[in-house]
Chain A
Amino acid sequence: MTEGAATSIEARVEAIYRTESRRVLATLIRLLGDFDRAEEALHEAFRSALEQWPRDGVPANPRTWLVSVGRFKGIDTMRRLKRFDALDDHTAEAASVHMEPWEDDSVEDDRLRLIFTCCHPALAPDAQIALTLREVCGLTTEEIASAFLTPAPTLAQRIVRAKAKIRDAKIPYEVPARDELPERLDAVLRVIYLVFSEGYAASAGASLIRTDLTGEAVRLGRLLVELLPEPEAIGLLALMLLNEARRPARTSADGDVILLEDQDRSSWNRAMIEEGAALVERALRSRRFGPYTLQAAIAAVHGEAREASQTDWTQIVGLYDLLQRVAPSPVVELNRAVAIAMRDGAGAGLALIDAILGRGELTDYHLAHSARADLLRRLGRTDEARDAYQRALTLTRQEPERRFLERRLRELH
């Protein structure tokens, strides 16, 4: 075999690793019953591929080949080490290994099993996130650590502990049954949205070297919709796409916050907005939608307005009404108040915000005070506006937010 051909097979193995390794891993976890064993077997299988494919050619179905080889390697290791495994702790069951034929058509289910296991409620939220990025997305420990500004050893520990918990608590490798599904799906959606939010909040300034978390979250969202097209999964994907579409416009070159109404809408990603809006429609038609879909619907209304002045505030208020009914919270109420201010005038919005603060809610939430300040400014109540901006300033911890509030304060004079 010529060197060129060998190199091209190596390139093919690499390409197959990128597209198939997570699927192969998900199935190996089911067949071998353990994350670590499956990972080792996955690497063994790819090592064999690098040895054998240049000689024998790439098999017709590389994924099946990789699962079979990985499984054999994993099982041979297990049965020969069972004396020692039995000494570690568990595993009367691991000591007896049965090679049942495996079904290629349950492979897509394996990917869902993997997602639900990584997001199992018995795991702490930060463990769910780390494990999902490691096992489902295939990010390295170092990549995840740098994305979350966590020392790599801490993150590695977190993953090790999560896997031990899965093993010790005997968390089953399965897609939850119908009756459990809504609750378990919520946990998965929360993990994906946390990954997205972490990337989205970090998208300014010095964070450019951080792994593209929003991209990973969108990929996860797409995978979930492909495997389990539940309305809220569709709604979450839509919400992420609609937010991601506006990302280039939401900060200036210096990392300063640019408000929605001041953004250059021509820099919004139209294709993403259209895809997001279509997904919102699909989720809404199901009539089983929830908070993610409603937030996406609100983002879609903004996305469809070519100018800030063309925003359909009546529709947005209506969507906030619905959101407040399915997922009531003071933050939703605050956002609704801002939408009312846009529809009915600053005074109407201000009364609602004052009512929330008057109940003792959101008093330490900087956005409540900056929204209130903004309405006071528009009403010409400059002194009160100044006080409110200053209150917001003492509460915010983010540098771009602080600069934004200071700018607003200077403009008051």
Chain B
Amino acid sequence: MNKYLCLCYYNQKQYDAISAARMKEMVAECQPHDERLRASGRLIVNSSLAMPNTSRSIRVSGGGEPVVSEGPYENTPEPAGALFIIEAENMDDAIRIAMLHPGPHLGKYMDGGIEVRQFEYFEQP
């Protein structure tokens, strides 16, 4: 079986506009999807990421020494907010499994989406 990285993107502006009350409702709506994704037995890693403004980036440019800077590598209005890694037979199977995640169902409220990308090399020490 192959492994796939699923990167969840969202629109920062829309996300920030969601009220606490609405978010609570959405969390409840997420739950059946979370459960189905876990029940698939194909989930290897599940995670969510800290806000992009807390990132630091290591850049190596022009053959010089690596330089650490504040902020994300790429400033985009649609950063990644979560990632999960699954096991699947092929890309179609991977899409089927990624569809179980809450993202495709609730992503519409924050203009979200998921990029599914196969691993070429995967090491788990």
Contact = CB atoms under 8 A, between A and B. Distances in A.
B93 interface: no
Contact of B20 (A72, A76, A84, A96): A84
Given A76-B30, A76-B34, A81 B50 contact: no
A95 interface: yes
Contact of A76 (B23, B31, B51): B31
A352 B50 CA distance: 73
Contacts of A83: 23, 51
A291 to B, nearest CB: 50
Contact of A72 (B26, B38, B50): B38
Contact of A81 (B23, B34, B35): B23
B90 interface: no
Measured as residues with beta carbon below 8 angstroms from the partner, the interface class of chain B is 10 to 19
Interface string A42-83: 001000100000000000000000000000110011011111
Contact of A80 (B27, B35, B38, B50): B27
Contacts of A73: 31
Contacts of A82: 48
B56 interface: no
Nearest to A52: B35
Nearest to A80: B27
Contacts of A77: 27
6 A-B pairs closest in CB distance: A84-B20, A80-B27, A79-B48, A76-B34, A77-B27, A81-B27
A87 B24 CA distance: 14
Interface of B: 20, 23-24, 26-27, 30-31, 34-35, 38, 46, 48, 50-51
Interface of A: 44, 48, 72-73, 76-77, 79-84, 87, 95-96, 99
A273 B20 CA distance: 57
A364 B31 CA distance: 63
B20 A80 contact: no
Contacts, number: 30
Contacts of B23: 80-81, 83-84
Given A72-B38, A84-B20, 17 more contacts: A72-B34, A72-B35, A76-B30, A76-B34, A77-B27, A79-B48, A80-B23, A80-B48, A81-B20, A81-B27, A82-B48, A83-B23, A83-B51, A84-B23, A87-B20, A95-B50, A99-B46
Interface centre among A76, A81, A84 (most CB of B within 10 A): A76
25 contacts: A44-B31, A48-B35, A72-B34, A72-B35, A72-B38, A76-B27, A76-B30, A76-B31, A77-B27, A79-B48, A80-B23, A80-B26, A80-B27, A80-B30, A80-B48, A81-B20, A81-B23, A81-B24, A83-B23, A83-B51, A84-B23, A87-B20, A95-B50, A96-B50, A99-B46
A79 B27 CA distance: 9
A99 B34 CA distance: 15
Contacts of A79: 48
Contacts of B26: 80
Nearest to B51: A83
B113 to A, nearest CB: 17
A74 to B, nearest CB: 11
Contacts of A87: 20
B32 to A, nearest CB: 10
Contacts of B48: 79-80, 82
Contacts of B35: 48, 72
A82 to B, nearest CB: 8
A81 B20 CA distance: 8
Nearest to A73: B31
A73 B35 CA distance: 9
A36 to B, nearest CB: 14
Nearest to B21: A84
Contacts of A96: 50
A48 B24 CA distance: 18
A407 B46 CA distance: 75
